[in-house]
Amino acid sequence: MEKKDIFDLEALKEKAGIARFFTKFDIFRVLWRKGGITVLVLLGLVVISSYFLIYVQPNEFGIKVVRIGLQKGVQKEVYSPGYQFVIPGFQEMITIPWDIQVLELTNFPGTASSEARAERAAHIQTSDGFYVSVDVSIIYRVVDPYLVVTTIGPGRLFEDNGIIPKTEPALKATLGELTTEEFFNSPLRVKKTEQAKNMLNAELQSKGIQVEQVLVRYFKYSDEIQRNIEQKKLKDQLVFKNQAEGRAAREEAVLKKIIQEGKATVSVELEGGNAYVTRRIAERDRYVRTKKAEANLLVKLAEAERVRLKNEALQGAGSERMVGLKMADVYKGLDIVVLPSDGTAGINPLDLARTLQLFEVREGGSK
């Protein structure tokens, strides 16, 4: 017999000899006969995952609600992202986003983020009786999904019954304290939005919602009031500009005076420095000349002393020795000298006194 595909319903009908539509029980029975245990297990897992597993997204909390059973009602346990087991008909899994949520109050929906909830702009009356439309961004998040579900409700009711009804009254109570002109005062406006945030948190934290920031993006009065305000602001800016220019001119004059005084001080200091340098140079030159004169005097005195000592030496016994040394130099130029060595005319080179008398160097040499 030709083997048929176990998933071919027509073949299964022909084999069973019936013409009616198979029930799930018939399919499981045929699969069992064909040995499709693995297929049955897989089908069982598919059925369980389809009917008993609920997927909680990565940016969501999971809160289980028991409809039938001993612990009926909302369960306090918060389920993390992933597949969670739920019995259909007996239990229900409610998901609440835990990431940042944005509520945009604006008359220009095209300027709002595609993921933000957009509502009309807040219509606020100022303390001096004028109306202004304010575009505001409310940045908030769910911090306790159990409180949100039990006090507000499941799904997106935290928007419709939670944040939206409370936002505009809080803005009117805080921003409404400003005058028409004070709306243009950024620090004061930020202070009022901070008060609005605190007021919203006082209302919503007990319901599991926390407001992170309240931001005023744009505000607009009626066209006529807007023109009047802008004209007044331009006049004020012109006054401020003139005042600033006046202060700048005064400061510039002070600066010029300081610069001139500084230049004069610098000139005086430079002259004093030049005089000091000149004086020091003169002192240096005088010192050099003095020392040179003293040195020259010492040299001259030394030379005079040398001459004196030489004269004294020549006048004493030393002179005789010098003459003898000179005569020795004279004798060096002679190869042979024949002199009588006896008699009155005899020469004894060792008799220096006789030699000096001979050459009439000393008195009595003429004898």
- 237-258 pLDDT per residue, tens: 888 888 898 899 899 999 999 9
Task: Go through the chain and tell me how many residues it has.
Answer: 367
Average pLDDT of the residues of the chain = 80
Q: Both 193 and 110 in a single domain?
A: yes
Q: What is the pLDDT of residues 84-110, one digit of tens each?
A: 888 887 888 889 999 999 999 998 888
Q: Both 116 and 206 in a single domain?
A: yes
**Nearest to residue 115, comparing CAs of 59, 193, 62?**
59
**Does 111 map to a domain?**
yes
Q: Both 209 and 296 in a single domain?
A: no
* Cα 351 to Cα 344: distance, rounded to the nearest angstrom: 13
Q: Both 50 and 119 in a single domain?
A: no
* Cα 178 to Cα 129: distance, rounded to the nearest angstrom: 10
Burial code (b: 16+ CB inside 10 Å, e: under 16) for 254-288 equals eeeeeeeeeeeeeeeeeeeeeeeeeeeeeeeeeee
How are beta strands 101-105 and 117-119 bridged, if at all? Answer: parallel
Residue 12's φ and ψ, nearest 5 degrees, are: -65, -40
350 lies in which domain range? 317-358
Q: Between 56 and 69, whose confidence is greater?
A: 56
Q: What CATH number does the domain containing 196 carry?
A: 3.30.479.30
pLDDT at 322 over 90: no
* Cα 119 to Cα 175: distance, rounded to the nearest angstrom: 18
pLDDT class for 225, splitting at 50, 70, 90? confident
Q: Which amino acid, 349?
A: P
pLDDT at 71 over 90: no
Q: Both 15 and 75 in a single domain?
A: yes
- The Cα-based distances of 257 to 249, 251, 265, 268, 286 in angstroms read 12, 10, 12, 16, 43
Q: Percent of the chain, pLDDT > 90?
A: 32
The reported pLDDT for the residue numbered 68 is 85
Q: What does the block give as tokens for 323? A: 């003459």
* Cα 152 to Cα 299: distance, rounded to the nearest angstrom: 119
pTM over 0.85: no
User: What DSSP string describes 147-160?
Assistant: HHHHHT-STTHIII
Q: What is the pLDDT of residues 285-303, one digit of tens each?
A: 999 999 999 999 999 999 9
* Cα 158 to Cα 164: distance, rounded to the nearest angstrom: 8
Q: Both 199 and 145 in a single domain?
A: yes
How are beta strands 101-105 and 73-79 bridged, if at all? Answer: unpaired
